[in-house]
């Protein structure tokens, strides 16, 4: 029997088994160099190879066009809350933001340091259970960019289509929790960023994909460490980068390519999510948080009829090897995070447990 359990963590999250096994070997001795990956200088020929392969494989996975740079930074996705307006928003101008949950709010909170913020759509009134669209969206007159969180990790909602930015405005997306979960047209964005610790690798490295024409022309003078263009030009190693994170992201890109690329990821993710959603839709013991048309294939949020039953569900699931199912404190209940590397068998095991639990507590009401 395996000594590993089903890890439904929202991030850091489970990684592909083959990647972890390769990493175990490479931590001891990578490329027959006699030195492990954690011990190599970020300026030697071995790390040159890691850097260049990671960039090339990232480009191949996402079919990233040549006019976009691929690079990485530290400080988590949270640092991008100020980096984006610092680099792109001139004083006195406005940027439009979709308010779809905590991560969007963290970004919205920083904009005033550099310019004006306009909330162009919000689902706050319904505790972020949907994505604002249609006549719920009102852009400002002439925004510099429109920012959205493509997948709301806490609430379990996902943009199924990109917002249509007005005029010359470009799109900025926080893709931390659904990057590379399905094919996406990256040419549509000015900038995409993603903390690696969900679909791409370990915590400590943030992937950025940005139009060269934008990142090379920051709208104000900035400290060197805050300049996207400089960071990209220096291949993410203006200073010492998180070398292990870069290496591991590279291994995850190789894994995605070997598994059939983003088309294969999408098919697998749809199938996994459907196992859980089909069951939720077929019964009335568990209630989903997100409305059906906006629900996420990555983070599935649901509740029992009472908070006491939620707590019992989480405890009993844990004892059965279904771990880290507690929902974020902002909404309570349960959250099953099933990123690319999460196995289908784990989704089936969760549904089997949900059935048993609902049966044992039949008759419980909210
Ligand atoms: C969508 C999204 N954005 C931003 C963050 C914050 O990332 P970090 O902790 O890397 O700063 C998270 C973390 O879970 C997230 O899910």
CATH number for the domain that contains residue 267 = 3.90.1150.10
Adjacent-strand bridge partners of 69? 210
Ligand 1 atom at minimum distance from 203 CA = 10
The residue with tokens 């997100």 is 290
Tell me the per-residue pLDDT of 150-181, one tens digit each, with 9 for 90 and over. Answer: 999 999 999 999 999 999 999 999 999 999 99
Query: Can you give the pLDDT at residue 366?
Result: 67
Using the mean position of ligand 1's atoms as its centre, give its distance from the Cα of residue 149 in Å: 10
Dist. CA 249–CA 180, nearest whole Å: 12
298 and 244 together in one domain: no
Among 62, 65, 55, smallest CA distance to 262 is for: 62
In a domain, 366, yes or no: no
295 DSSP assignment:
B
pLDDT value at residue 39: 98
**Beta-bridge partners for 171:** 146, 189
Q: Of all protein residues, whose CA lies closest to atom 1 belonging to ligand 1? A: 176
- Ligand 1 center from residue 77 Cα (angstroms): 5
Q: How far does residue 295's CA lie from ligand 1's centre (Å)? A: 18
Report how many domains make up the chain: 2
163 neighbors 187 (Cβ within 8 angstroms): no
- Given a contact cutoff of 8 angstroms between Cβ atoms, the answer to whether 286 and 354 are in contact is yes
3-state secondary structure of 361: coil
87: left (phi over 0), alpha (psi -120 to 50) or beta: alpha
Cα separation of 160 and 294, whole Å?
Answer: 7
Task: Indicate whether 365 belongs to any domain.
Answer: no
Cα(28) to centroid of ligand 1, in Å?
A: 31
Q: What is the mean pLDDT of residues 296-318?
A: 98
- Cβ proximity of 299 and 157 under 8 Å: no
Q: Summarize pLDDT for 205-227 with one digit per residue, the tens.
A: 999 999 999 999 999 999 999 99
Three-state SS across 69-121? EEEEECCHHHHHHHHHHHHHCCCCCEEEEEECCHHHHHHHCCHHHCCEEEEEE
In terms of domains, do 198 and 87 share one? yes
Domain shared by 78 and 146, yes or no: yes
Q: Are residues 188 and 322 in the same domain?
A: no
Spacing, Cα 58 to ligand 1 middle (Å): 20
Which atom of ligand 1 is nearest to 10's Cα? 14
Q: What tokens were used for 165? A: 């930015």
Mean pLDDT (whole number) for 89-96: 98
Cβ of 150 closer than 6 Å to ligand 1, yes or no, is no
% of the chain with per-residue pLDDT over 70: 99
User: Looking at the structure, do residues 210 and 271 belong to the same domain, yes or no?
Assistant: no
Q: Is 78 in the pocket of ligand 1 (CB under 6 A)?
A: yes
Provide, rounded to the nearest whole percent, the portion of the chain with pLDDT above 90. Answer: 98
Same domain, yes or no, for 246 and 345? no
Residue numbers of the domain that contains 80: 17-258
1 has pLDDT over 60: no
Q: What is the pLDDT of residue 68?
A: 98
Q: If you take atom 7 of ligand 1, which residue's CA is the nearest one?
A: 77
Q: Mark whether 119 and 178 lie in a shared domain.
A: yes
Could you tell me if 164 and 271 lie in one domain? no
What rounded mean pLDDT belongs to the chain?
97
- Model confidence over 110-126: pLDDT tens digits? 999 999 999 999 999 99
The reply to whether ligand 1 has any atom less than 6 angstroms from the CB of 208 is no
- Please answer whether residues 173 and 150 qualify as being in contact, where contact means their C-beta atoms are separated by less than 8 angstroms: yes
What is the reported pLDDT for 2? 75
**Residue 271, token pair as written in the block:** 């199938």
Cβ 99 under 6 angstroms from ligand 1:
no
pLDDT at 242 over 50: yes
Q: Where are the alpha helices (DSSP H) in the chain?
A: 17-28, 45-62, 76-88, 102-108, 212-215, 228-233, 243-258, 261-281, 307-319, 344-360
Among the listed residues 120, 67, 70, 117, the one whose alpha carbon sits nearest the alpha carbon of residue 89: 117
Q: Residue of the nearest CA to atom 5 in ligand 1?
A: 77
Question: What digits encode the pLDDT tens for the residues 11-22?
Answer: 999 999 999 999
| Residue of the CA atom closest to atom 15 of ligand 1 | 176
The residues annotated with a catalytic role in the active site are 103, 174, 198
pLDDT digits (tens, 9 = 90+) for 25-46: 999 999 999 999 999 999 999 9
């Amino acid at each position: 029997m395996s000594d590993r359990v089903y890890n439904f963590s929202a991030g850091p999250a489970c990684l592909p088994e083959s990647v972890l096994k390769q990493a175990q070997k490479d931590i001891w001795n990578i490329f027959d160099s006699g030195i492990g990956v954690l011990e190599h200088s970020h300026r030697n020929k071995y790390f040159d190879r890691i850097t260049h392969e990671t960039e090339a494989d990232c480009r191949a996975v996402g079919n990233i066009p040549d006019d976009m740079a691929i690079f990485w930074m530290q400080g988590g996705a949270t640092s991008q809350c100020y980096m984006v307006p610092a680099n792109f928003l001139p004083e006195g101008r406005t940027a439009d933001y979709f308010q779809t949950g905590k991560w969007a709010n963290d970004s919205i909170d920083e904009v005033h340091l550099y310019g004006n913020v306009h909330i162009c759509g919000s689902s706050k009134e319904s505790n972020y259970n949907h994505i604002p669209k249609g006549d719920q969206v009102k852009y400002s007159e002439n925004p510099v960019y429109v920012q959205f969180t493509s997948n709301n990790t806490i609430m379990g909602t996902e943009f199924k289509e990109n917002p249509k930015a007005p005029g010359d405005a470009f799109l900025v997306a926080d893709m931390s929790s659904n990057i590379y979960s399905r094919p996406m047209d990256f040419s549509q964005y000015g900038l995409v960023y993603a903390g690696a610790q969900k679909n791409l690798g370990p915590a400590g490295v943030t992937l950025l994909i940005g139009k060269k024409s934008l990142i090379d022309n920051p709208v104000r003078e900035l400290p060197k460490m805050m300049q996207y263009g400089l960071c990209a030009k220096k291949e993410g190693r203006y200073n010492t980068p998180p070398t292990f994170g870069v290496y591991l992201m590279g291994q995850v890109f190789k894994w995605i390519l070997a598994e059939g690329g983003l088309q294969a990821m999408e098919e697998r993710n749809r199938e996994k999510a459907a196992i859980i959603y089909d069951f939720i839709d077929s019964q009335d013991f568990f209630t989903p948080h997100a409305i059906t048309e906006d629900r996420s294939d990555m983070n599935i949020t649901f509740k029992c009829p009472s908070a006491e039953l939620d707590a019992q569900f989480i405890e009993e699931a844990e004892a059965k090897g279904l771990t880290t199912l507690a929902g974020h404190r902002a909404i309570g209940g349960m959250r099953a995070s099933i990123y690319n590397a999460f196995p289908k068998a784990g989704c089936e095991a969760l549904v089997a447990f949900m059935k048993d639990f609902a049966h044992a507590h039949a008759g419980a009401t909210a």
